Amino acid sequence: MKRRLISLDWAIKKLLRSKANFGILEGFLSELLFEDIKILEILESESNQELRDDKYNRVDLKVKNQKDEIIIIELQYATEYDYLQRILYGTSKVITEHIKVKENYSSIVKVISVNILYFDLGIGKDYIYKGVTKFEGIHNHDELQLNDKQKELYKQENISKLYPEYYLIKVKNFNDIAKDNLDEWIYFLKNEEIKDEFNAKGIKEAKEKLDIMKLPKEKQIAYERYVEDLMYQNSLINSNYGAGKIEGIKEGIEKGEKLAKINIAKKSLSQGIDLNTISLITGLSLEDIQSLI
């Protein structure tokens, strides 16, 4: 019998921070990263603002594995057109927070960013994308490699392993056909269901522990309210926020460009440059320039 399970985002917030449930996350991450992942601890997932104008970095979950790598996991339902910059900021923030002033740069922590997306980010037919950093020769098109001393220093074989890795899981692109163990996890992420025949690492534990019917009644009610609220919020955001944000960005750019032109015009006026020349340089009308005098 099919039985609906708790979504991973709610599980992360309420259940998976307990060491007793690490096996579920370890299973998912092991299948995604193609290595045996062991979680040592859950880390604080909200950074402090070092400056007043700094941005908070809030992620859904941040863990440290057995290799002292930091894995950050985010689930995103609402459309965010600047999401690619958001994950760049997130990994950068983690790196700077986890290196001490007197440490060498070789001590910089490896960060793995796992992003489970329920909106359509970019253009692409696949449902899992991996991003790494490589250096390619402009002329010979060879890939830059570590030398022996660097391999000894970093304990790595490839340059890409020194830099953050990004995984983008576009859940809606998955066709519901589980061809391998990782697909079984993607099936769960999309359908909140685990088939009896699934055998991916940690997935049977997920089926056992994330069963809605096994929650206390008050938590079942709380979860149903959470799902209803999420659906309502997504409906509002997708119908109003997405298009409005694009228009807001365009409007902000246009205002910034005009302000820059005005500043150039003011400086030109102070240097005694004639109005026609200033108009030609800035593209401002003569009326706009005269209003600055």
Q: What predicted TM-score, i.e. pTM, was given to this entire model?
A: 0.75
Neighbouring CB atoms inside 10 A of 152's CB total 10
Q: Is the dihedral of CA 250, 254, 260, 263 positive or negative?
A: negative
Beta strand 165-170 with 128-131 is antiparallel
Tell which residue, 129, 116, 113, 120, has the closest CA to residue 189: 116
**Can you tell me whether residue 143 is helix, strand or coil?**
strand
Residue 279 has what pLDDT? 80
Domain ranges of the chain: 8-214
Exposed/middle/buried for residue 66 (C-beta within 10 Å: 0-12, 13-18, 19+): exposed
The gap from C-alpha 17 to its chain's centroid, in whole angstroms, comes to 19
Amino acid sitting at position 171: V
Give the C-alpha separation, 30 to 7, whole Å: 19
Residue 28 has what pLDDT? 96
pLDDT in tens, the chain (293 residues): 566 788 898 898 888 998 999 999 999 999 999 999 999 999 886 654 444 444 444 578 999 999 999 999 999 988 888 999 999 999 999 999 988 877 889 999 999 999 999 989 989 999 999 999 999 999 999 999 999 999 999 999 999 999 999 999 999 999 999 999 999 999 999 999 999 999 999 999 999 999 988 888 888 888 888 777 777 666 665 555 555 555 655 566 566 667 777 878 887 788 778 788 778 777 788 888 888 88
Residue 277 has what pLDDT? 77
Residue 102 has what pLDDT? 79
Give the C-alpha separation, 137 to 150, whole Å: 19
**Can you tell me whether residue 278 is helix, strand or coil?**
helix
Residue 22 has what pLDDT? 93
